[in-house]
Structure 1
């Protein structure tokens, strides 16, 4: 196992020219006392990035029945945020030209809260509008928070990526596990169960306010080295982000429905989905720390893909015993997501390229991921069963493996 003490751009990148090595106009260094408040803000904001989506799965059957739509249509409530993440991710670096990353993240968190309110509206148009706002807010934060981690914690990228992904997955676990109990406690209303997460968005805004103190109003970085399109890792990192996201968000959306069609109650399926999210937690923390120390994390990629594949095969061949398969799925997806973020941070050719690679990988990657829940639902509508949809996810898991191996392989920058 090879240690990896420095950034890949320092190992394999070319020497910067005098023009390229001009100092960047970046945000000023934070005082040490600000670090705990920044970490708290990162955690609380990251907690907001999944509940408004993960809470849908256990309630999907009721939502579909009340809205009188088919499976493919109701899956749009999960697909639309992913489309927003893809289409709007490239805007994040542009927004920071006029305002600091901290300011943009604050506004984006508030937008998530407004969207959570609108999405519990009385009719489908209101629900769709709220869904778009939620997707827009998350899209910007998806790009900026990992970039901020690389900027403010350059010596602890693995650890802080683990903290960030741990918070993201914890939010998903809370939402999926509490969706049905909250519905029961709030008069059987799925709208009330989902709308309660607006308070988490309010907490995110308050927790992030200290991060704004003493920051400049905008950020500019001098161009260094090759552009992101010439980065040989750009395509494999983007495809890896896309396929791992496609697999995760598809089973996050549809797993409760699959389990309910095999005889489980809505409450039981919600608890199992929550178990699949909870089991991710140790992997989301440990995997990025380990990956940051490896020059070639190919074994981590292969192990994660094997866990996901085993879980999907189990659901396909022995759906009557879902718990072990769900735990395998969770362990695998709890590894691939932080790996994708580590690739973004470490496969950039220079520090100024991190937000560019993040926007590219998450933009096109989430557009690819957005097709998953819809295709899965459409295959079910066409076949009236779950074998074809689960087979589709197996194929996508194979593509996750291939692209992850390509993203892992050490190579020189042009």
Structure 2
């Protein structure tokens, strides 16, 4: 989560915050819809990509991991770019990268798929950092409502991509997966058309240098928050990148696998809305983090080894509730463990930057293990290890303490 002091303000918004607020709200929500389709759409057609391009399991793991790695790498310089050029214009650049990167998938070649992953991943990283800050800055009296809508939009984009990519491939494009992947660029181009006039009118203003002074690198609590963010994200991107192929290996057809993944992602919305107020009422969040990690583990093992049929839907719902709660708790802990906005800014950058670099190893290891063993069974042991590590990090991050500068 990026706090308001990480992003510049504009004179227009400062002097008249209600002017065109409905259009700004619509724009930010629409941009949020574009932050996950790149991941959700790829996973459901990954077997077809491997079949048609000759991509190995190792190559597939690299393809699914690359945009996640970019989330970490491009999160780090985004605040400085926003201070220099303005958050609105960097967000415009982010939309251009997402739209262009997604459109490149239409070419269907392996090199373009990897280029697409880098471009779209860079754009998504910028959006991840800037959108929450813009919401908090521009809708100070309605932050809870707007953050709820923001979460809704992110989950809706991910679940829609997982649910509808395969049906579009089959019924609209005669089995052409490149077109089914590229069609999601239309959503980004639509957001671009609405956002561009607002972004180009905005002018950056200087921010307080104290907002980016000091270091949290020696704070154990800051690292525990970062590890909790990264580990729960690793589990989330394993689900978005590999759950559909895992289910298809269990002889579940591609459309049904996509619906199960979409259901899981959609359930994250409910947990994301309920978790922040619940976490705020607790004396500390240690037990809450432990319960969420246990939910994720039980649900994933149920999907991997449990009986087919109706129980699969129950495991998908439980998985979504656990992962949505963990994601919302990770964002909430950034604020709860910070004593002021300057620390919040630094902890947000640290948790998102290093956290997403850590998260990239999750889907990468799934592909590597699949290539080495020819089975997804070792994935269960990886998920067990990640859930245990998530619980340990969450137990530390959930302590009722504040991080301190070194």
TM-score scaled by length of structure 1: 0.87
Which residue does 1:221 correspond to in 2? 208
- C-alpha separation between the residues in 2 aligned to 1:102 and 1:25? 9
Moved more, 381-390 or 327-336: 381-390
Q: Could you tell me which of 335, 360, 373 is aligned with 2:363?
A: 373
Aligned to 1:15: none
Asked whether the 8 Å contact 1:245–1:369 carries over to 2, the reply is yes
Superposed CA offset, 1:291-337 (max 9, x none): 34555233432332221111023134425342222221111111111
Q: 1:133 aligns with which of 116, 119, 136?
A: 119
The CA distance in 2 between the partners of 1:383 and 1:392, in whole Å, is: 13
Q: Which runs of 5+ in 1 are unaligned?
A: 1-23
Which structure has the highest helix share of the two?
A: 2
2:234 matches 1:234 = no
1:97 alignment partner, SS class: helix
Once residues 338 and 199 of structure 1 are traced to their aligned partners in structure 2, the CA distance between those partners, rounded to angstroms, is 28
Q: 1:345 aligns with which of 330, 335, 338?
A: 335
Whether 1:254 and 2:249 are equivalent positions in the alignment is no
Q: Which moved more, 1:292-301 or 1:31-40?
A: 292-301
Indicate the larger mover: 237-246 or 223-232: 223-232
Corresponding residue number in structure 1 for 2:258: 270
Q: Work out which of the residue numbers 74, 78, 93 in structure 2 matches 1:107.
A: 93
The one-character-per-residue Cα deviations of 1:200-248 (angstroms, maximum 9, x if unpaired) are 1012223334653764324422316853435553211111111011001
* TM-score normalised per structure 2: 0.89
Q: Are the equivalent residues in 2 in contact too, given 1:89–1:360 (CA < 8 A)?
A: no
1:307 equivalenced with 2:274 (yes/no) = no
The 1-side partners of 2:142 and 2:122 are apart by 29
Contact 1:238 1:361 in 2 (8 A): yes
Bigger mean CA deviation after superposition, 92-101 or 316-325: 316-325
Helix, strand or coil: the match of 2:204? Answer: coil
CA distance in 2 between partners of 1:180 and 1:129 (Å): 22
Instruction: Work out whether residues 337 and 400 of structure 2, in 8 Å CA contact, stay in contact via their aligned partners in 1.
Output: no
CA distance, structure 2, for counterparts of residue 163 and residue 231 of structure 1: 33
Q: 1:220 to 1:231 in 2, by over 3 A?
A: farther
Deviation at 1:274, TM superposition (A): 1.2
What are the Cα deviations for residues 13-42 of structure 1, in whole angstroms up to 9, with x where unaligned?
A: xxxxxxxxxxx9854425223432232122
Q: Distance in 2 between matches of 1:83 and 1:314?
A: 28
TM-superposed deviation, 1:193 = 0.6
Residues 246 and 304 in structure 2, CA contact (< 8 A), matched pair in contact too: no
Cα separation, 1, equivalents of 2:402 and 2:339: 10
- Cα distance, 1:250 vs. partner? 0.6
Q: Is contact 1:100–1:215 with CA below 8 Å preserved after alignment?
A: yes
SS at match of 1:33: coil
Q: Determine the structure 2 residue equivalent to 1:406.
A: 396
Kindly provide the CA deviation profile for residues 151-172 of structure 1, in whole angstroms up to 9, marking residues without a partner as x: 3445555443332222111101
Gaps of 5+ in 2: 1-6
CA contact (8 A) 1:288 1:339 kept: yes
Asked if 2 retains the 8 angstrom alpha-carbon contact of 1:344 and 1:358, the reply is yes
Deviation of the 1:388 alpha carbon: 1.3
User: Of 310, 316, 323, which aligns to 2:313?
Assistant: 323
RMSD value over aligned CA atoms?
A: 2.4
Is 2:131 aligned against 1:145? Answer: yes
**Structure 2 residue 203 is the aligned partner of structure 1 residue 192:** no
After TM superposition, give the deviation of residue 398 of structure 1 in Å. 1.6
CA distance in 2 between counterparts of 1:255 and 1:405 reads 27
CA contact (8 A) 1:40 1:207 kept: no
Structure 1 equivalent of residue 17 of structure 2: 31
